[in-house]
Amino acid sequence: MRRTMLLALPFLAVACSKVPLTGRTQLNLLPESEMMSMSLTSYQQFLSENAPLTASDQRVQRVRQVGEKLAHAATEYLTQAGAADRVADFEWEFNVVDDPTVNAWCMPGGKVVVYTGILPLTQDDAGLAVVMGHEISHAIARHGNERMSQGLVVQAGGLALDVALAQKPELTHDLFLQSYGIGSQLGMLAYSRKHESEADKMGLVFMAMAGYDPRTAPKFWERMSAQGGAKPPEILSTHPSDETRMHDLEAYMPEAMKYYVP
């Protein structure tokens, strides 16, 4: 354990980067290329086990249309901000699975899945842009890398990713899925609330640049909150409290509106 952590120290010194838009310094211990490789494998496995709706389905067409606009807007923003490398290797893909779970997620590389269970709550394209902009922001901000890095330190004794894959493949796979909201939990609670707030802000800007009114975001999250009851939907389980989220969204709205052109 001590030797593993000592060997990791030189890498730690160069693992820091800043999240676009918010400027927060983050520590990602895992090479993004390896995360992308795991993403492609896990995404294909998920689709093989959860048959996506066909391209002719109107719900798929809507998701892909909104998704492509958001991807273009995000790329444009990052290019202007000098952070185009964040999506340089992304190959965007948008799919819909017939599942009543209220959820959506985006893996590294732009691999997106929307569950049919969340579509009634989105109501229209703007509501869909709220969800997808938020999830795309998680991938661009590399939140999953942060979550999985923490998970490897806590649950795998700080093993390097390749070693963890060889010695603890099941644990490593589960950590990856949980880090992107595909498992039963949405990552590590101590980190996810910070990430969710960050994704909210980034998502507002991306949807605004894509031509969707960011002022629809608080209304969507109000509808999500109303679905909670005693047990909130999975996508809300580690998000900020309703009051905190609404306050933060409204506080950031003037900045987001600067990017909105109807």
Residues catalogued as catalytic: 135
Angstrom distance (rounded) from CA 222 to CA 123: 13
Name the CA radius of gyration of the chain, rounded. 18
Number of Cβ within 10 Å of residue 79's Cβ equals 13
Number of Cβ within 10 Å of residue 50's Cβ equals 13
Angstrom distance (rounded) from CA 165 to CA 185: 21
Number of Cβ within 10 Å of residue 211's Cβ equals 15
Angstrom distance (rounded) from CA 261 to CA 140: 23
Rounded to 10 degrees, the C-alpha dihedral 33/35/37/43 comes to -150
